[in-house]
């Protein structure tokens, strides 16, 4: 891993990660990373459930555009599936770290304890 929090080599992370591994940055916002303590098989199950739920959201939105009266219920259910999967991955809900630090998700890095780290990134590293 480089000093900016990016992985080296062919599997380089597409977005900068905070030094503590809790967040990655997209469009100048911090987004919570998946809980690294999850066993790979469990993580993959939750990712699969998330993708299924996201596809269901898309299908419900298409049904809504066509005037399907069941679309609102389908959309609520699908969004509930997204929320459940994100919580299972540790990306939403209670934080997965145990040191008492509050969640900084959704904030601009300059308004968080990560301000100095973010300021040290070059413009290409921020993308």
pLDDT digits (tens, 9 = 90+) for 15-44: 999 999 999 999 999 999 999 999 999 999
pLDDT band at 14 (very low <50, low <70, confident <90, very high): confident
Contact 57, 82 (CB under 8 A): yes
Contact 94, 105 (CB under 8 A): no
Q: How crowded is residue 47: how many other Cβ atoms within 10 Å of its Cβ?
A: 15
Tokens 């259910």 — which residue?
77
In sequence order, the 6+-apart residues with CB closer than 8 A to the CB of 126 are 16, 25, 28, 118
* pTM of the predicted protein model: 0.84
Phi, psi (degrees; rounded to nearest 5) at 114: -90, 10
More reliable by pLDDT, 5 or 32: 32
């Amino acid at each position: 891993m480089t000093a900016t929090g990016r992985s080296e080599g062919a599997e380089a992370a597409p977005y900068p990660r905070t030094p503590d591994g809790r967040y990655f940055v997209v469009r100048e916002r911090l987004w919570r990373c998946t809980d690294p303590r999850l066993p790979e098989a469990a993580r993959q199950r939750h990712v699969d459930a998330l993708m299924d739920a996201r596809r269901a959201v898309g299908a419900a939105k298409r049904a809504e555009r066509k005037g399907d009266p069941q679309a609102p219920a389908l959309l609520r259910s699908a969004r509930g599936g997204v929320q459940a999967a994100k919580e299972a991955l540790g990306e939403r809900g209670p934080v997965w770290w145990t040191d008492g630090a509050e969640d900084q998700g959704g904030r601009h890095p300059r308004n968080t304890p990560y301000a100095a780290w973010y300021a040290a990134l070059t413009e290409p590293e921020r993308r």
